[in-house]
Structure 1
């Protein structure tokens, strides 16, 4: 059954939390260390499960990984990189999708790569087919086997002209990690341009990569023969910052999120203030608080950067259950991201999910029977409930709903939250939450 988190609700969260390095950058930065011929140093590394998974995968591939016990900084030396057994990769990968990003760097280093069946949060279809198509365009040979996929490039990877059907973050990362040491020029159009992508580009430039970002989502990469290691400090996790901001709103609290960056939260801050939340930007972070009075309903569509990020949607839906009126949310990035609302309904919220595109623009999930739009009517009086965490962001959303609810909630499956929220139990306690963890 795992651990059970008991939450006694009705306590406003107040105090300071610090966000660590971005979950959506750090594991990919660790993979990039394989591309260098000297050690790399990565700073501001959060203690989350995804980091442990990638560290284990690097080590079974012969990369020497040392962590500073005081700062948490990682030093990764790829000079003894080697192939790993299928069984070892499968055992260490677990439910992570990170191994697919090892392909380009491993092909450059060793000539081949193996990836097992891949997991991840069940929030929608994230097929690895996009990744495999990209690798084929670089000249890779993909062989599917019973236990996974073997990818090789007998003639080495060659630059390619790649057009992404959708500006996928993962596929853009695949292109970058494969193209920097491929022969010739690569151009990717309709690329993702999230802050974490731009930070990965900065890191690769430090290694000696030749990369330029152009308007209209075009990125060009001139392949080079060799790269050196990097010394890089990961940007702060904007998703964790937005989650704590939503927690302040839902619990009628006041939270200072240390190291939160206004630059990377522009779309979120706009919506936060529209709802009726308030914030103060300081030199070392952002204070988020509920200023009193009613919260406002709104109409919202998620989108790729610079739009309103899908990872911000779930915690914000909990806030909208407390707004006075009808809110409409159209999810355009992942088709199954409203599964978490079942628990909110059991807690007393009024949420209806629909297959129609309830937004200004029809999206790629329209007419495909995915419940990807939601109507929320508030304010709702939430009550404690038995909850099983469905995915990372949905799980955190359940936590803040339980923290705002009357009565006691029992939450299982909290191990999923460890994938992306560093020391979240300690942070909850420091903010005054009345919580207990038991086996």
Structure 2
């Protein structure tokens, strides 16, 4: 194996409970979007609690290509973003980011407002099922944008000021909701968005835009009303903590029979997860500065679980928790309703000794949009089963962290390939593993030394 490949492999010696404390910073699903929002302002913005993850670095690079100055602030994890001199970027430079993230699609509205045109390269992201960008382009056309699809990407123009419109999303897509918000705030007139996503990260983005001078009202029936304004200023904002990362470490504590304090975790944005965690048999204690998660001893409980958009059980919580469910007594049923291919990661768990059967039928209480299609989107998990170390190739961000949890819970040593993908959403996870006493190492480099380096 070559050096670059070996550097992307983690050797995990399982069977040791995770114990200790880690800290989660700002949400991956908010921070890059708030960075994009700074493009809309006429003055600098300050964003705090920013994690050092790959998506942040990708957006930082794209902003700098467009003339935005991005530098450190007065405290650790703070960025100052100055959009005073926004300019067009070279297509070749933008294209260098193609495949690295799906965030570039959200540059469309702000760039159309600032420059009158935009170029969006081919998009990357995790391969967990269809996340069509058609939603985004349909929305932008309704605002008045012209879109020319070419071999190297999408070229967009706004010959005139974009106009507010009425939009109903066919599904409460987070990305499409963000696109509407980032476009409507400077569009002429009123935009009415129905069937919108209402995740905590969406609310936090709305807070950012309101600080900039936007007028945005949220109703209780997934309706958002945006009154366009002529100009926005900068913002100062502390990003909400990453509830998805917090839940991942909670599941790791449960699967390894450990005890982990997640500093920064917030109860309000995790209430649905906390209820499910308790039903499985996990214990938690909520403090002012975080949440402690632990396995209280004794058998875990099998459960029936359906993922859904917020306020339901988040799809990003599902994969890490499934690893813990392999240690529960009885049959657990998991119905994935958000991404049709998200259960593909379970084949590797079966390789390690788990008993997980996938089905095309809806095994939840409510039929979903995948029910009449040929997708393996329901699972039956039979437990408890002993997991054994194996060679694992990470398929996507949450699936990758789930493989890491499985390797930590298993007996023996696992080789986890493709760990760089975990860096997309988990800040400094090697150091966090070391802090929790995990026995893991890069080839020839102990994790504690690698994290320190």
Please indicate the TM-score interval, normalised by the length of the shorter structure.
over 0.9
Q: List alignment gaps of at least 5 residues for structure 2.
A: 445-453
Q: Residue 68 of structure 1: CA displacement? A: 3.5
Instruction: Give the alignment of 1:349-428 within 5 angstroms.
Output: 349-428=354-433
Q: CA separation in 1, counterparts of 2:412 and 2:189?
A: 62
TM-score (norm: length of structure 2): 0.96
Alignment of 1:146-225 (within 5 A): 146-225=151-230
Determine if contact 1:9/1:403 at 8 Å carries over to the other structure.
yes
Counterpart for residue 291 of structure 2: 286
Please point out which of 238, 241, 259 is paired with 2:243.
238
- Residue matched to 2:40: 35
How far apart, CA to CA, are the structure 2 residues paired with 1:63 and 1:307?
Answer: 37
User: What is the CA-CA distance between 1:318 and the residue it aligns to?
Assistant: 0.3
Normalising by structure 1, we get a TM-score of 0.99
CA drift of 1:188 comes to 0.2
Sort the Cα spacing of 1:372 and 1:242 in 2 relative to 1 into closer, same or farther, 3 A.
same
Report how far residue 70 of structure 1 moved: 5.1
For 2:70 and 2:299, how far apart are their aligned partners in 1? 51
Deviations 1:101-124 (A, max 9, x none): 000000000001110111110001
CA distance in 2, matches of 1:11, 1:146: 50
- Residue 57 of structure 1: SS of its match in structure 2? helix
Contact 2:41 2:233 in 1 (8 A): yes
Counterpart contact for 2:391–2:414, Cα < 8 Å: yes
Separation in 1 of the partners of 2:99 and 2:148? 21
Which secondary structure does the structure 1 equivalent of 2:415 belong to?
strand
Structure 1 counterpart of 2:337, from 309, 323, 332:
332
Question: Equivalent residue for 1:295?
Answer: 300
User: Is the aligned partner of 1:431 residue 2:439?
Assistant: no
RMSD of the alignment, in Å? 0.9
SS in 1 for 2:343: coil
Query: How far does the alpha carbon of each residue in 1:255-275 deviate from its partner, in whole angstroms, 9 at most, with x for none?
Result: 000010000001000000000
Q: Report the Cα distance in structure 2 between the residues aligned to 1:284 and 1:209, rounded to whole angstroms.
A: 31
Aligned to 1:115: 120
Conserved? CA contact 1:3–1:412, under 8 Å: yes
Specify which of 15, 21, 24 is matched with residue 29 of structure 2: 24
Q: CA deviation at 1:87?
A: 1.1
One of 70, 78, 97 as aligned partner of 2:83: 78
| CA–CA separation in structure 2 for the residues paired with 1:33 and 1:155 | 22
Q: Is the 8 A contact 1:63 1:76 kept in 2?
A: yes
Match of 1:264 among 269, 273, 279: 269
CA distance in 1, matches of 2:99, 2:49: 24
Contact 2:99 2:122 in 1 (8 A): no
2:449 maps to: none
Runs of 4+ in 1 over 3 A off after TM superposition: none
How far off is 1:135 after superposition? 0.2
Matched length: 439
Q: Distance in 1 between matches of 2:198 and 2:351?
A: 38
8 Å CA contact retained: 1:3, 1:438? no
SS in 1 for 2:301: coil
Q: Does the residue aligned with 2:300 lie in a helix, a strand or coil? A: coil
Partner of 1:127: 132
Q: Say if 1:181 and 1:226, in contact at 8 Å, map to a contact too.
A: yes
Whole-angstrom CA distance in 1 between matches of 2:22 and 2:98? 30
Which of 63, 86, 92 does residue 87 from structure 1 map onto?
A: 92
Tell me how far 1:3 sits from its aligned partner. Answer: 1.8
8 Å contact kept, 1:57–1:93: no
Structure 1 residues without counterparts, runs of 5 or longer: none
